Amino acid sequence: MSLQPGDTLPDISIKIIDGDIQPAQTGALFAGRKAVLFGVPGAFTPTCSNRHLPGYVEHFSDFQARGIGVMCLSVNDAYVMQAWAAAQNVPPGLLLLADGNASFTRALGLELDGTAFGMGLRTRRFALYAEDGVVRVLQVEAPGELRVSTAEAMLVAIEH
């Protein structure tokens, strides 16, 4: 079953990239804070690299000004996510979450079967806003789209 507004985010072991690679628990990452988490199907893929992540990099200070942390989730290993962060000039504090085994993605119910494209199990394109680990806004993209999970769309959605 897919995550819904009002649900508490699951507590799963994950790797975070904020310069270095560090182990973390998702429960602790979201506890006591406001955060936007957006999911992408893959690091270094065209839409993710050319539009989705760059929008959050560009608007990172807008989220910070509202006291909101920003995190990007993908089913990639931590080393790929670290290289992607460097290639995309991700600013310190914008966390990339490497979900190499798709454990967090599956717990969210937001997995995408990309086997037809040679990609295996991936994260669906989405964005959510959570307060103290409780989902307040959830925007899941239709296949092939990038509209409701952009940084701009989330800034608008959070204001309502």
Would you name the residues annotated as active-site residues?
48
Measured CA to CA, the distance from residue 77 to residue 54 in angstroms comes to 20
Task: Tell which residue, 72, 73, 77, has the closest CA to residue 94.
Answer: 72
Residue type, 74: S
Q: Which of 48, 21, 38 is nearest to 119 (CA)?
A: 48
